[in-house]
Amino acid sequence: MHFRLMILKIMMKMLAKVLLAMACGSLLPLSANATPDIPPFYVAASRIKPEGKLGQVVKREKITTPIPNAQAWRIAYISSDVNDLKTISTGLLIAPVGPAPKEGRPIVSWSHGTTGSAQNCGPSQQINPAVPLNEYYLMNGTSWEDYGVLSLAELIKEGYVVVATDYQGLGGGGKHQYAVGQTQGRDAINAIRAGGTVKEAGAGKKTLLYGWSEGGYSVLSAAGSTEYLAKKGTAFDGIELVGVVALSPVNVSGVAQASMEGSPNAEQAMEKIATPLSQNIFMWGHLAGMMYGLQTAYPEKLQLTDWFTPEGAAVFDQLSNNKCFHVLSDALTYSYGDNYKSLVKPVPSNTKTWINALIDGGIPNKAPTAPVLMYRGTKDAVPKPMVDIYENQMCKLGANVQHIELDGATHFTSPVEAQQTFLPWIKDRFANKPLPNACPQN
pLDDT for 60-78, tens place per residue?
Answer: 999 999 999 999 999 999 9
**Alpha helical stretches, state H, 27-119:** 40-46
Q: Whole-number mean pLDDT of the chain? A: 92
Give Rg (Cα) of the chain: 23
Percent of the chain with pLDDT over 90: 87
Class of residue 21 by CB neighbours under 10 A (exposed 0-12, middle 13-18, buried 19+): exposed
Q: Which of 106, 45, 111, 98 is nearest to 71 (CA)?
A: 98
Spatial separation of the C-alpha atoms in residues 339 and 345, rounded to whole Å: 13
Mean pLDDT value across residues 125-131: 97
Mean pLDDT value across residues 407-424: 97
Question: 92 falls in which pLDDT band (50, 70, 90)?
Answer: very high
42-251+367-430: CATH topology is Rossmann fold (3.40.50)
Q: Are 358 and 351 in contact (CB under 8 A)?
A: no
Q: Are strands 203-212 and 240-247 parallel, antiparallel or unpaired?
A: parallel
48 pLDDT higher than 90? yes
- Lowest mean pLDDT segment, chosen from 93-107, 117-131, 192-206, 260-274: 260-274
Class of residue 383 by CB neighbours under 10 A (exposed 0-12, middle 13-18, buried 19+): middle
Spatial separation of the C-alpha atoms in residues 326 and 293, rounded to whole Å: 16
Spatial separation of the C-alpha atoms in residues 148 and 91, rounded to whole Å: 11
The residue with greater pLDDT, 71 or 144, is 71
Residue spans in the chain of domains classed CATH 3.40.50.1820: 42-251+367-430
Whole-number pLDDT of residue 223: 98
Whole-number pLDDT of residue 441: 82
- Lowest mean pLDDT segment, chosen from 1-5, 63-67, 162-166: 1-5
Q: What is the pTM of this model?
A: 0.92
Q: Are 81 and 293 in contact (CB under 8 A)?
A: no
